[in-house]
Amino acid sequence: MDRIPPHDLNAEQALLSCLLQDQRTLDKVYEIINIDDFYSDKHKKIYDAILGLNRKSEPFDAITVSSYLDKTDQLTVVGGLSYLLSITNEVPVTTHAEYYAKIVAEKSTLRQLIATAKEITDEVYTGDNEVENILDRSEQFILDIANKKKRSGFSRIGDILHTAFDKLETLKNKDNHVIGVPTFKDLDKVLNGFQPSDMIIVAARPGVGKTSFCLNIAENAAVNHNKTVGVFSLEMSKEQLVLRLLSSQALVDQTKIRKGTVSQSEFDDLTAAANVLLKAPIFIDDTAGINIMEIRGKARRLQQEHGLDLIIIDYLQLMQSGGNGRKNENRQQEISDISRNIKLLARELNVPIVALSQLSRAVEQSADKKPNLSHLRESGSLEQDSDVVLFIYRQSMSPADGEEAAEDKTAEIIIGKHRHGATGKVKMVFLNEYTKFVNIEGSLEED
């Protein structure tokens, strides 16, 4: 026999009693409940009548609600005027209206969970969808229910200013004025760190140092600022990434590490670096060919279990969109889909997401060989969806026409797009043997 879904008719009656006694109650409970939160159909009709009268700026009590329902032939259905009068007298005062509303809303949430579980169960048994799609939809259903009541209302400007000045005072007293996830000193002078909910594209041709650049940011954020970083590595194994982190932290040549030819002193430096990295909140997932839905699910769980301040995806063109069922879409459409979903995920989790991207070969045909937004590979949506686009350019790798390749280790970080402020470029030193980018003090050139 089917069980009766969770509900509390007494709380529903008490809430309606408060509303019928004092119109001001509606303003207090309107953000807590909606019409579907009522279990009883007749209570839904009564609440709908209250809302209808309120929309017309007409008073609502047992008499006016009775008249409203009578005009729509629903008065008999709800039990007539006698029922409205009886529930009006259900509670002597209206001070507990919000408490009653929360009970009604909580019971509604439980019923939604039951309905969601049934829908997921039915989808599993039909077998018409891929497992990863069902898992993603299941997570999204639950999150939607959990976030349903988290609505943002008006805030008085005085309260906002108070919060803003608290932040300003905190920044004023800090040596480091960066309010986002820190990157490199001169770069942060423009970006102020990577900001929550931002999508950041880091683009370069192969071999220029995209992975090293982003690992350096992860290392700095986690080791020096205790920020939790999630890294999705589609190109390299987690062991390879850890060796790069060790090389960067210990300043030991990565070639020696791979070959096992380090000296005793270098081994001691690596041991010390390992002890530092051991405490760093860096989490690495090296699932090959991962799709956006898997990333979304894993990122949500990481945030729930450990907190999350930054996500790095290395790299975008190796991802699959997944779960959309469009078998015949071309790669440009797929990248557009991935890009849009990365931006949506950044907003959902309220963390910056750094997505590494390859550049098109068109950059090699340009005279100065320096990348710009038109060189983003496979999709114009990367430029559209992103908040920040950084290009890495090394003259030693791609000299301009008529130039000789330089032997120095200078790299330019070109800020090609910055939704929140200025663009420009920052010069850095790239120590390839340590997979490490080093800030050059005072090298910032703003456009």
The label of the residue with tokens 């309010």 reads 179
- The predicted pLDDT at position 177 comes to 62
Cβ pair 338, 358 in contact under 8 A: no
Give dist(CA 376, CA 382) in Å, integer: 7
Q: Are 209 and 430 in contact (CB under 8 A)?
A: yes
Query: CB–CB of 12/83 below 8 Å?
Result: no
d(CA 315, CA 359): 12
The fold of 9-147 is DNAb Helicase; Chain A (1.10.860)
SS (H, E, C) 21-59: HCCCHHHHHCCCCCHHHCCCHHHHHHHHHHHHHHHCCCC
Give pLDDT, residue 327.
47
Contact 149, 32 (CB under 8 A): yes
Strands, DSSP E only, in 69-165?
A: none
Report whether 78 contacts 46 (CB < 8 A). Answer: yes
pLDDT grade, residue 368 (50/70/90)? low
Kindly state the tokens that stand for 406: 């330089």
At the top level of CATH, which class does the domain 178-446 belong to? Answer: alpha beta
Higher-confidence position of 74 and 176? 74
Tell me the range of 177-181, 343-347, 438-442 where mean pLDDT is highest.
343-347
DSSP state of 374: G
CA distances from 207 to 305, 361, 371, 398 (A): 35, 14, 15, 11
Q: How much is the mean pLDDT over the chain?
A: 83
Burial class (CB in 10 A: 0-12, 13-18, 19+), 6: middle
Q: What is the pLDDT of residue 159?
A: 67
Domain spans, the chain: 9-147, 178-446
Query: Is pLDDT above 90 for 21?
Result: yes
- For 21, the token pair is 């006694």
Alpha-carbon gap, residue 251 to 254, rounded angstroms: 9
Q: Which 3 state secondary structure label does DSSP give 180?
A: coil
Dist. CA 40–CA 46, nearest whole Å: 10
Residue 377 DSSP SS3: coil
| DSSP tag of 209 | S
DSSP SS3 for 335? helix
**CA pair distance 431, 96, nearest whole angstrom:** 66
Separation between Cα atoms, residue 9 and residue 364, nearest integer Å:
71
Q: Rounded to whole angstroms, what are the CA distances from 206 to 107, 289, 357, 397, 420?
A: 55, 19, 10, 10, 28
Which helix (H) or strand (E) element contains residue 412? Answer: strand 410-418
Q: What pTM value is reported for the model?
A: 0.65
Residue 187, φ and ψ in degrees, nearest 5:
-65, -35
**Bridge-partner residues for 203, per DSSP?**
357, 391
The CA R_g of the chain, rounded to the nearest whole Å, is: 29
The pLDDT assigned to 218 comes to 93
Number of H helices and E strands in the chain, helices first, is: 19, 10
For residue 266, what are the CA distances in angstroms to 242, 248, 261, 437? 16, 12, 10, 20
pLDDT digits (tens, 9 = 90+) for 77-107: 999 999 999 999 888 888 999 999 999 999 9
Specify the pLDDT at position 340. 86
pLDDT tens, residue by residue, 277-334:
888 899 998 888 888 877 887 888 888 889 999 999 988 888 876 654 444 457 778 7
Q: Tokens 């309260």: give the residue.
A: 159
DSSP, residue by residue, 210-247: HHHHHHHHHHIIIIIH---EEEEESSS-HHHHHHHHHH
Contact between residue 159 and residue 165 where contact means Cβ atoms under 8 Å apart: no
